[in-house]
Chain A
Amino acid sequence: MSDHTAPLRNNALLDVRNLAVEFRIFQGVVHAVTGVEFDMHNGEIVGLIGETGCGKSVTGFSLIRLIRPPGRIVGGEIRFKGVDLLSLDDLQIRRIRGRELAMIFQRPMSSLNPLFNIGTQLTEVIRLHRVHQRKAARRLAVESLSAVALPDPEGILGKRPFELSGGMQQRVMIAMALACDASLLIADEPTTALDVSIQLQILKLIRGIVQQRGLSVLLISHDMAVIGSMCDRINVMYAGSIAEAGPRDRLIRHAAHPYSQALLKAVPELNRSEQGRLVAIEGTVPSLLNPPAGCRFAARCPRVHDRCLQKVPSRVQVGPDHFASCFYVASTVEAASAGHSTNLPNAGSLGDAAKNPKEDRC
């Protein structure tokens, strides 16, 4: 694969190259992730968007080496602060997890041990990674709870998980993840299980922490409004690989890959006119058990050619820091701008919607 980002690689916080993850099951080998490449810098929010089963969560889990059997990382490189995470032994990776690389999950309601109060669980993490004395750890726990804007942090320390709402629990999870000053947070659909008004609060909180601490966030979501409002750069995933990657505004305005274009057409908008109906993407995601030979989007692509069915397209640069894996990028970009006025949401309107995801979803 061509490597246009070579100059950036040295100072990247996270650099993922050619990642491949397989699940060996009874029916055969599922190629959940193939050839995923992206990088992240300090203080950046990078989005990973795609539909269910496209491998975005698997990618997130591999970064922190949490893929469980029958899953296995079979190839590639994950460089975090220059260290290849895939070459570390169990003890070394454990020291990085929670201390430098933290992750929050989809269901905050079941992410805490129901038996113990918040204080016990929070100080446990702090004592594991940062300070050993109980008192100091407790002080840090209070600090980290106030950092996630929870009222009465002292009181919350004494509460059990079931006494908190879903939004509060997700705040506690963020506090736990950041209690040891991690420099990269992987947020796997952090707001999917929460109701929309709470979603907005949590997203604002994450953005605020990024601005305050220079934290980097990998935001995984299937929701274009969330990704569009939060991220500096966006990676669009399809069937286990990255279809398109680029800066937020460019990608939304000038999507080059037919899949990203279709995805953007499927975003609902409040002020959409009668003619601008929501467009669904025809067909279904190909099985990753026996993936098709050529481009994985070929079966659903409106601009499919013979070549697409035989060869996997390589990454092509389509603009500054903007890449797409498609043979016919140039023609699709033209086609997209031609069809722009009719059914592609323009970046302006999505930007508005993005600033207010609550309104967008109602």
Chain B
Amino acid sequence: MRGKGTRSYVLYAMRRSPLSIVGITLILAMTVLAIFAPWIAPHNPYKVSMGDRLLPPSLTHPAGTDIVGRDIFSRIVYGTRLSFRIALSVVGISISVGVLLGALAGFYGGVVDLLIMRVTDGFLAIPSFALAMVAAAVLGRSLNNMVWALALVGWTWNARIVRSAVLRIRNSDFMLVQKALGASSARMIFLHIIPNCMGPILVQASLQCGLTLLSSAGLSFLGLGVQPPLPDWGLMVAEGRTYLPARWWLVTFPGIAIFTMVTGFLLTGDGIRDIIEREVS
């Protein structure tokens, strides 16, 4: 029952959890937007056209135009690329760091565990958004620095989750067998423990993508993240907020985009968790 069986099982489990289908569909739609942005967007997202400033939604500008006459719909479409880039790089970094440190802490225990876990406790003691703000401000305002700042506050939960998964697997019979067969610690960690933790890691990665997007929109809104003229959704909300409520489209459409993508990631994470838990029970 390999390959095909697993696939049909996943499809079966997904059907039983409709919200995961909604989540995955949203993310897939966003992916399509990101990949085919040049064909989907009707206008150049950076093209300033002072004559077309603050136009309400119409057929030529489905989501209206902003203060310098750029097409908001095109900017949102291109913004998916930026959002994926931010979410995937932040989560990529913080998952790698979290998995590595969590696995070391769980596997070796003792002093290593104590040291790593006290550091994560330290991070968790500070409100993470405040810490990310400070880090982004100190590093300097740019897209890359914001990624590092978010990764810095993001790895701690990952380390805790991986550590608890490792603790469960470390004492299982097959780890003892591996040891009896002469496997080294590195072999046991990377070939046997981490692959067996992939379930919780996947769930966490998906949820973290959603939460990261929220924080990044927040940082960009505050001016600490993505800098103009990039089509970042948080930045677009910030730029448009002074024109509320009369020019509502400046804020509403980027807001809907943020909401959709965050919801997509969160529902996907929940869906993966449903599938895994069903498999366990």
Contacts and interface: CB of A to CB of B under 8 A. Distances in A.
A311 to B, nearest CB: 38
Contacts of B196: 113-115
B182 A96 contact: yes
Interface string B149-185: 0000000000000000000000011101111111110
B179 A66 contact: yes
A163 B191 CA distance: 21
Nearest to B198: A115
Given A124-B191, A160-B2, A163-B1, A113 B181 contact: no
B53 interface: no
Contact of A158 (B2, B177, B184): B2
Contacts of A98: 180-183
A250 interface: no
Contacts of B176: 66, 105, 111
B165 to A, nearest CB: 13
A64 B192 CA distance: 21
A160 B1 CA distance: 8
A99 B180 CA distance: 10
Contacts of A163: 1
Q: Kindly name the residue among A66, A97, A107, A117 whose own CB sees the greatest number of chain B CB atoms within 10 A.
A: A97
Contacts of A102: 180-181
A110 B174 CA distance: 6
Contacts of A107: 173
Contacts of B195: 115-116
B179 A112 contact: no
Contacts of B184: 94
A114 B172 CA distance: 11
B208 to A, nearest CB: 23
Given A105-B173, A113-B196, A176 B181 contact: yes
B180 A66 contact: yes
A102 B179 CA distance: 10
A125 interface: yes
A124 B177 CA distance: 13
A173 interface: yes
A173 B182 contact: no
B179 A110 contact: no
A97 B174 contact: no
A125 B174 contact: no
A96 to B, nearest CB: 7
A272 interface: no
Contacts of B177: 105, 111-112, 173, 176
A128 B174 contact: no
Interface in A70-123: 94-99, 102-103, 105, 107, 110-117
Q: Kindly name the residue among B173, B177, B178 whose own CB sees the greatest number of chain A CB atoms within 10 A.
A: B177
A300 interface: no
A111 B178 CA distance: 9
Given A124-B191, A160-B2, A97 B173 contact: no
A97 B179 CA distance: 8
A177 B180 CA distance: 9
Interface string A206-220: 000000000000000
A182 B191 CA distance: 23
Nearest to B191: A124
Contacts of B2: 117, 158, 160
B173 A111 contact: yes
A136 B176 CA distance: 26
A129 interface: yes
Nearest to A113: B174
Nearest to B192: A113
Q: Which 10 A-B pairs have the closest CB atoms?
A: A98-B182, A98-B181, A97-B182, A110-B173, A103-B180, A111-B177, A94-B182, A113-B174, A111-B173, A125-B181
8 contacts: A64-B180, A96-B182, A98-B182, A113-B192, A128-B183, A173-B177, A176-B177, A176-B181
Interface of B: 1-2, 172-174, 176-184, 187, 191-192, 195-196
